[in-house]
């Protein structure tokens, strides 16, 4: 399995091996490569792999091989837009990916009480974020953890209780819900609390930059930094930021920046363009995704999300103006 530290050479070898597998077993991807005139056996550098435009997940069944899926994850389909669908062959693969990624950046779930403020996701079926959060809560095994829909009073009381007990806490929430909650209550400073936003304004607030959002949340919760989670329905892996909007990927995930005017050209470190993602956990779908997010990759491998490409649908996890 790929859920461990990988050297750059090993990552590249695994990416090329997976590319050649999916170029045969993923019929949609194979057809896409054929239309581009790409011969998979001629690709020797992952940067030269053609990435599948993410929009295909809205209108096609993007799978590698033939199987009966265990679950279908769906995107929010914000504002009546068509939802993307991810047909997952093995839920255990997704669980291993998000569990290893969480441990990689934060340690064992048992160390935390996890409180989830995810109203827009709880109100619909098929959310991969809700599935992941539920499994992390159950893995933690603490009765104080749980989901909160609109029970802000109960959530505030739970946070005060955990603070008094000195228990390490993660408050995970969509941006608009965290803002609503933060504006209605006052909080004492805490050293053992993490507030993590997952994006998602849903048109419920005035437009904010991520910097403005984080500043408001830092002031309300009296914290020095706000963490962020970056994931999407079409992937099986997540990136995390521990502050300042700089996301780190787990070892089996890598982000590149492509030229907006030439989608098959990868830009140098530090330049702004659209994000391409390799997710080695996405074995039975497509591991090479051309997203509609704008961003830049830094020399240390971290990346920023700066907005959306022109004319793209606004995704539920990205309704922030950067």
pLDDT of residue 201: 57
- The whole-angstrom separation of Cα 229 and Cα 199 is 8
Domain count, the chain: 2
Is residue 224, in this structure, part of any structural domain at all?
yes
pLDDT of residue 322: 33
Written as tens digits, the pLDDT of the chain (322 aa) is: 688 899 999 999 999 999 999 999 999 999 999 999 999 999 999 999 999 999 999 999 999 999 999 999 999 765 557 899 999 999 999 999 999 999 999 999 999 999 999 987 777 889 999 999 999 999 999 999 999 988 999 999 999 999 999 999 999 999 989 999 999 998 988 889 999 999 875 455 566 778 889 999 999 999 999 999 999 999 999 999 999 889 999 999 999 999 999 989 999 999 999 999 999 999 999 999 999 999 999 999 999 999 887 544 444 444 443 3
Is residue 1, in this structure, part of any structural domain at all?
no
Is residue 3, in this structure, part of any structural domain at all?
no
Same domain, 79 and 100: no
Is residue 46, in this structure, part of any structural domain at all?
yes
pLDDT of residue 208: 76
pLDDT of residue 50: 97
Same domain, 205 and 275: no
Query: Domain span at residue 137?
Result: 93-230
Same domain, 75 and 148: no
Is residue 243, in this structure, part of any structural domain at all?
no
Rg (Cα) of the chain, in Å, rounded? 19
Is residue 236, in this structure, part of any structural domain at all?
no
Same domain, 122 and 210: yes
Cβ 322 vs Cβ 306: under 8 Å? yes
Is residue 149, in this structure, part of any structural domain at all?
yes
pLDDT of residue 204: 54
Same domain, 273 and 204: no
C-alpha separations of 62 from 130, 216, 253 in Å: 22, 39, 19
Query: For 129-133, which contacts have Cβ atoms below 8 Å and span 24 or more sequence positions?
Result: 129/198, 129/231, 129/317, 131/71, 131/73, 131/94, 132/94, 132/98, 132/231, 132/238, 133/172
Where a domain ends, among 230, 245, 264?
230
Is residue 247, in this structure, part of any structural domain at all?
no
Count Cα neighbours of 252 within 13 Å in the Cβ-side half-sphere.
Answer: 25
Same domain, 221 and 138: yes
Which is nearest to 280 in space by CA: 8, 18, 34?
A: 18
Same domain, 128 and 203: yes
Same domain, 222 and 101: yes
pTM (2 decimals)? Answer: 0.92
The CATH number that applies at residue 156 is 3.40.50
pLDDT of residue 149: 87
Same domain, 86 and 98: no
Same domain, 216 and 296: no
- The whole-angstrom separation of Cα 109 and Cα 145 is 11
- The whole-angstrom separation of Cα 239 and Cα 253 is 8
Same domain, 67 and 20: yes
Same domain, 76 and 108: no
């Amino acid at each position: 399995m790929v859920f461990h530290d990988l050297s750059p050479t090993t990552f590249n070898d695994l990416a090329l091996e997976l590319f050649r597998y999916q170029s045969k077993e993923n019929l949609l991807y194979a057809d896409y490569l054929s239309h581009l005139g790409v011969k998979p056996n001629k690709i020797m550098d992952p940067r030269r792999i053609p990435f599948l435009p993410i929009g295909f997940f809205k209108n096609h069944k993007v799978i590698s091989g033939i199987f009966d899926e265990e679950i279908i994850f769906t995107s929010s389909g914000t504002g009546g837009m068509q939802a993307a669908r991810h047909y997952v062959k093995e839920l255990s693969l997704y669980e291993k990916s998000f569990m290893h990624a969480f441990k990689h950046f934060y340690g064992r779930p048992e160390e935390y009480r996890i409180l989830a403020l995810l109203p827009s996701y709880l109100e619909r079926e098929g959310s991969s974020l809700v599935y992941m959060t539920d499994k992390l809560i159950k893995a933690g095994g603490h009765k104080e953890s749980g989901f909160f829909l609109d029970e802000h009073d109960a959530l505030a009381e739970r946070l005060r209780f955990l603070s008094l007990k000195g228990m390490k806490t993660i408050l995970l929430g969509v941006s608009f819900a965290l803002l609503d909650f933060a504006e209605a209550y006052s909080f004492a400073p805490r050293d053992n609390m993490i507030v993590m936003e997952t994006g998602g304004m849903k048109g419920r607030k005035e437009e904010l930059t991520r910097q403005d959002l984080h500043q408001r949340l830092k002031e309300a919760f009296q914290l020095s930094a706000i963490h962020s989670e970056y994931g999407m329905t079409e992937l099986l892996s997540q990136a995390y930021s521990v502050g300042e909007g700089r996301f780190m990927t787990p070892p089996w995930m890598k982000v590149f920046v492509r030229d907006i005017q030439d989608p098959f050209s990868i830009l140098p470190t530090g330049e702004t363009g659209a994000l391409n993602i390799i997710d080695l956990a996405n074995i039975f779908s497509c591991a090479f995704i051309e997203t509609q997010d704008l961003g830049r990759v830094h020399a240390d491998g971290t990346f920023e999300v700066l907005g959306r490409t022109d004319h793209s649908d606004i995704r539920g996890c990205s309704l922030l103006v950067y």
